[in-house]
Structure 1
């Protein structure tokens, strides 16, 4: 029992470590953030429900493996909207051989000369896989359009092609879910300030992020047209409100689970076999220089 308790404590420590997202802020910015978000979800309620939902995600994973289902989840939204945090909680306890994350860099010159969707196709799920895109082909309707990386003709071609492309994915049997993470203008500004003043998060703030802050209204207009032209019955958009990160994570996972018809699958009882013991074997003593120094 003591060993089991120690293992549970390690699991909780892991949870606390991954949830340790309080930035190293000045007291002034910390007070400002809390005053802007007075009704944030209680941590005990959050952890209790997160563990419950992660247990359900494991059931979903088992069902996907058992049935050979293919699940594709697109995560889109403004910079600092919380996509990465949601993805991290979804995949935290899943088998990385089953659930994998795709976050593609900017296209190379060769990729720019290809059919637009070509670079995404190799990453689509095979049987028994869950794939989460941390940004997807919708870059063309968002950042590429707003920042001038795509011409208006290319954007228009994208809007004509993407509904049929997604219908093809659905006809092939892929379960496709599209999420947009929404935060307010004021919330994004606060999160950017937090990144500027937190040395552990400054790497998250790129020149493109700063430019996106300037072009908030342009991104809003682009998002509105994207919804209008790509919200099709076969692959609708789902908007997740993200000002409260804890509610954002729980609501998204709860909805995701509700959209997939998974069920418990039969599994064999696991028993630990006895270790073979050779009384004539004597374990060798390894030299000290092979060991990592015990600093702690």
Structure 2
């Protein structure tokens, strides 16, 4: 028998496997595509999380103080992004601060006081899941403060942030920008998902009705507090995964830590956008 004859009698392994695989995924095409996309996402996210561990080691070794604050509309993806930042970091080094509404005692204090006492010591990274920017945002829109109190905030804010930076704090300010349709879809998901329903609050339920009011408050805030020494970084968060990836890249790009892989940190200009493009966005 010739070599050619032997070859023709050998089963085509590729074809033999193809049909069982097709049978396996038939009817589950969407699920398979979703899983492949999730794997692509993890292939990008995981190396960035490894870089965050390097950053953490640098912060500890050099006794640096880092404050990263997350602001944005309700359901903009702030908490989910912080979770990806924190996933492999030490809770002894990194803290999340998400303050409840002020107590009666706190209402009698200087507005910034309850935030100031949360600030990091050397060798610590602090994540604010909402911050002192509650005042010009939700407090102003919902009537939880007076117009005079908002004006006092705007007068004092530049001095406060300048003092933080002069004291050695690395301050990074994120504004997560979500469009109206995405916010509505996320609220609907929370209402029907028993694992997410706890995220809904009475304020969230008014967010859609007060969309334009929040837009006006956002524009004023960004104009008055986008400071040269403490600028805002706008993150378009309609795609949560791209928002998370680019937020992490932005933070990593701000520091010269040991072993930094700069090739991983290219920002997507469609996700990280100028403040000027956010102002006036409906």
CA distance in 1, matches of 2:194, 2:67: 34
Equivalent residue of 2:67, what SS? strand
Does residue 112 of structure 2 align to residue 117 of structure 1?
A: yes
Does residue 60 of structure 2 align to residue 65 of structure 1?
A: yes
Q: Map 1:71-220 to 2 at 5 A.
A: 71-220=66-215
RMSD after superposition: 1.7
Aligned pair partner of 1:232 in 214, 219, 227: 227
Structure 1 residue 261 displacement after superposition? 2.4
Equivalent residue of 2:163, what SS? helix
TM-score by length of 1: 0.75
Could you list the per-position Cα deviations for residues 232-266 of structure 1 after superposition, in whole angstroms to 9, with x for gaps in the alignment?
A: 0100000111011110110100111001222249x
Equivalent residue of 1:133, what SS? strand
CA distance in 1, matches of 2:232, 2:204: 24
Task: Determine if contact 1:180/1:237 at 8 Å carries over to the other structure.
Answer: yes
How many residue pairs match? The answer is 228
Could you list the per-position Cα deviations for residues 148-182 of structure 1 after superposition, in whole angstroms to 9, with x for gaps in the alignment?
A: 01100000010111111000000001000000111
Aligned pair partner of 2:241 in 226, 230, 246: 246
CA distance in 2, matches of 1:193, 1:95: 34
Higher mean C-alpha displacement, 232-241 vs 253-262: 253-262
Q: Which has the larger radius of gyration?
A: 2
Could you list the per-position Cα deviations for residues 20-70 of structure 1 after superposition, in whole angstroms to 9, with x for gaps in the alignment?
A: xxxxxxxxxxxxxx9xxxx9x932221011110000000000000000000
CA distance in 2, matches of 1:128, 1:264: 18
Q: Map 1:253-272 to 2 at 5 A.
A: 253-264=248-259
Task: Determine if contact 1:159/1:229 at 8 Å carries over to the other structure.
Answer: yes
Gaps of 5+ in 1: 1-33, 266-296
Structure 1 residue 196 displacement after superposition? 1.2
Gaps of 5+ in 2: 1-29, 261-282
CA distance in 1, matches of 2:118, 2:182: 32
The higher-RCO structure (CA 8 Å, 6+ apart) is 1
Task: Determine if contact 1:63/1:264 at 8 Å carries over to the other structure.
Answer: no
